[in-house]
């Protein structure tokens, strides 16, 4: 029946054939856009035509409803009651659902942000403890002292290498430098201490040569000379797996130019042309082994949370911020996040959930009863009024 009506519409009305052509054009442009870059002029033709077609058939639909559905007073009253009672409730429920998704998305971002900041604090704590124990070592030569610190560092953290993927260590003492990883390998390029870093400690997210790095610095004066310990952990897929463990996959990206604003308000790029060109392009890192949690039930929707961190451009004579922050995106599910939230309550975590479900069940029963009573009263009233005016 619908097919024959559609064929009759296309045969008898030019506007119907025009709308069909617009739809086919849109499908063709969508398919071509996946393979080649469709010229913008074609889309400029398509969208106005689609809007005109939508307005035309919306007017036809309104005319159909007025002529076929609202021809009796009883049906007009029913539609009025629907708009008065049902539509506002549906809109409120929709608003609550959207708000719940937004809150859960931000909660997922909050959890990952806490993990990132926790890693920054871990590196700072490790560097601080190592720096405090340097004076206790009895080596008189700076080179021997650095060798001993390196061996102790690798020995103690080697068993935790999986927890600190790609951790890079740079130790400086009186002109002597050691740069290595937890496997004991030597790094080709030790980290330089910028002139603006004069304090005893530093921790945060930095940008160096186009890489997003979590870094901590502990430095001070010892009997052998000035000592500095730099711990650097580049943001890698393995590290993002740790940030999103139990939550969902995490992505990190830097979009923008390396040119930033220094403390005196002048724009410059301390990274050089190569690093600037890399940061001018979109760069992103995504979790490797963490997948989106499986849904607990049909309505367990996915949510995407986002947050930003303001890194510091490492290098140059002045402390510089990049033109754009580092973006983090996390994908999770509502029930996964609710479990995370309730797990913080310990043994009685399910009490609130059970109480909420119980109250919700009572409200649902009351709503069903009220709906049934309302339908019966509406039928009675509309039938009486319709017979009165017939």
* pLDDT at residue number 137: 63
Distance between CA 168 and CA 179 in Å, rounded?
A: 7
Distance between CA 127 and CA 227 in Å, rounded?
A: 12
- Residue 156 pLDDT more than 70? yes
* pLDDT at residue number 165: 81
Q: Are the beta carbons of 86 and 92 closer than 8 angstroms?
A: no
Residue 107: band (very low, low, confident or very high) from pLDDT cuts 50, 70, 90: very high
Distance between CA 226 and CA 365 in Å, rounded?
A: 74
State the average pLDDT over residues 221-236: 85
Q: Which segments within the chain are labelled E, that is strand?
A: 168-173, 176-181, 201-208, 211-222, 225-234, 250-254, 260-261, 267-268, 283-286, 302-309, 312-313, 326-333
* pLDDT at residue number 35: 74
State the average pLDDT over residues 94-113: 92
Of residues 27 and 385, which shows the higher confidence score? Answer: 27
Q: Are the beta carbons of 178 and 153 closer than 8 angstroms?
A: no
Percent of the chain with pLDDT over 90: 16
Query: CA-CA distances (angstroms) from residue 329 to 115, 323, 340?
Result: 13, 19, 18
State the average pLDDT over residues 290-309: 88
* pLDDT at residue number 268: 44
User: Token pair for residue 260?
Assistant: 């930033």
* pLDDT at residue number 322: 78
Residue 390: band (very low, low, confident or very high) from pLDDT cuts 50, 70, 90: low
State the average pLDDT over residues 297-318: 86
State the average pLDDT over residues 261-265: 45
What is the per-residue DSSP string for 115-143? Answer: HHHHHHHHHHHHHHHHHHHGGG----SHH
**How high is the mean pLDDT of the chain?**
80
Residue 298: band (very low, low, confident or very high) from pLDDT cuts 50, 70, 90: confident
Distance between CA 348 and CA 346 in Å, rounded?
A: 6
Contacts of 179 (CB under 8 A, 6+ apart): 168, 169, 170, 171, 186, 187, 188, 189, 190, 191
Q: Are the beta carbons of 238 and 252 closer than 8 angstroms?
A: no
Q: For 56-77, write each residue's pLDDT tens digit.
A: 888 888 787 766 655 566 666 7
Of residues 386 and 50, which shows the higher confidence score? Answer: 50
Distance between CA 89 and CA 43 in Å, rounded?
A: 38
Of residues 194 and 183, which shows the higher confidence score? Answer: 194
Q: Are the beta carbons of 17 and 7 closer than 8 angstroms?
A: no
Distance between CA 121 and CA 200 in Å, rounded?
A: 15
Q: Are the beta carbons of 16 and 23 closer than 8 angstroms?
A: no
Q: For 312-347, write each residue's pLDDT tens digit.
A: 888 777 888 777 788 899 999 998 898 888 776 666
Please tell me which of 54-63, 156-165, 273-282 the model is most confident about, judged by mean pLDDT: 54-63
Question: How many C-beta atoms surround the C-beta of residue 239 within 10 A?
Answer: 26
Query: CA-CA distances (angstroms) from residue 197 to 175, 194, 202, 227?
Result: 17, 6, 8, 13
- 3-class secondary structure, 232: strand
Question: How many C-beta atoms surround the C-beta of residue 69 within 10 A?
Answer: 12
* pLDDT at residue number 345: 66
State the average pLDDT over residues 138-154: 74
Question: How many C-beta atoms surround the C-beta of residue 376 within 10 A?
Answer: 10
DSSP code of residue 70: S
- Residue 277 pLDDT more than 60? no
* pLDDT at residue number 382: 73
Please tell me which of 74-83, 110-119, 206-215, 355-364 the model is most confident about, judged by mean pLDDT: 110-119
- Residue 278 pLDDT more than 50? no
Nearest to 84 by CA among 385, 384, 382, 387: 382
Alpha helices in 322-348 (DSSP H): 334-343
Q: For 201-216, write each residue's pLDDT tens digit.
A: 899 999 888 888 999 9
- 3-class secondary structure, 137: coil
Distance between CA 6 and CA 3 in Å, rounded?
A: 5
- Residue 307 pLDDT more than 60? yes
DSSP code of residue 185: P
Distance between CA 205 and CA 309 in Å, rounded?
A: 8
């Amino acid at each position: 029946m619908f097919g024959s009506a559609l064929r009759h519409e296309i045969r008898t009305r030019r506007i119907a054939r025009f709308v069909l052509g617009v739809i086919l054009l849109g499908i063709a442009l969508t398919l071509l856009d996946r393979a080649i870059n469709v010229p913008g002029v074609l889309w400029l033709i398509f969208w106005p035509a689609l809007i005109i077609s939508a307005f035309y058939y919306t007017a036809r639909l309104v005319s159909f409803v007025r002529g076929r559905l609202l021809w009796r007073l009883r049906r007009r009253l029913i539609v009025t009651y629907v708009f008065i009672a049902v539509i506002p409730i549906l809109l409120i429920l929709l608003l609550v659902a959207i708000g719940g998704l937004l809150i859960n998305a931000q909660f997922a971002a909050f959890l990952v942000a806490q993990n990132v900041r926790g890693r920054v604090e871990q590196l700072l704590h490790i560097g601080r403890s190592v720096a405090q124990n340097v004076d206790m070592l009895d080596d008189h030569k700076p080179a021997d002292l650095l060798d001993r610190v390196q061996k102790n560092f690798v020995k103690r953290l080697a068993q935790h290498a999986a927890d600190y993927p790609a951790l890079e260590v740079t130790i400086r003492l009186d002109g002597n430098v050691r740069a290595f990883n937890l496997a004991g390998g030597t790094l080709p390029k030790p980290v330089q201490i910028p002139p603006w870093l004069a304090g005893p400690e530093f921790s945060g997210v930095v940008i160096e040569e186009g890489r997003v790095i979590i870094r901590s610095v502990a430095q001070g004066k010892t009997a052998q000379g000035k000592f500095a310990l730099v711990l650097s952990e580049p943001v890698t897929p393995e590290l993002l797996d740790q940030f999103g463990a139990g939550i969902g996959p995490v992505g990190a990206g830097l979009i923008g130019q390396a040119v930033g604003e220094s403390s005196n308000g002048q724009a410059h790029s301390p990274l050089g042309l190569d690093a600037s060109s890399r940061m001018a392009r979109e760069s992103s890192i995504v979790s490797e082994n963490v997948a989106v949690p499986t849904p607990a039930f049909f309505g367990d929707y996915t949510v995407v949370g986002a947050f930003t961190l303001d890194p510091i451009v490492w290098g140059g004579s002045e402390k510089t911020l990049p033109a754009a922050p580092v973006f983090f995106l996390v994908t999770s599910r509502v029930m996964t996040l609710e479990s995370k939230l309730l797990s913080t309550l310990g043994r009685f975590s399910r009490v609130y959930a059970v109480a909420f479900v119980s109250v919700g069940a009572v409200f649902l029963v009351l709503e069903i009863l009220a709906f049934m009573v309302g339908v019966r009263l509406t039928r009675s009233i509309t039938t009486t009024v319709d017979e009165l005016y017939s």
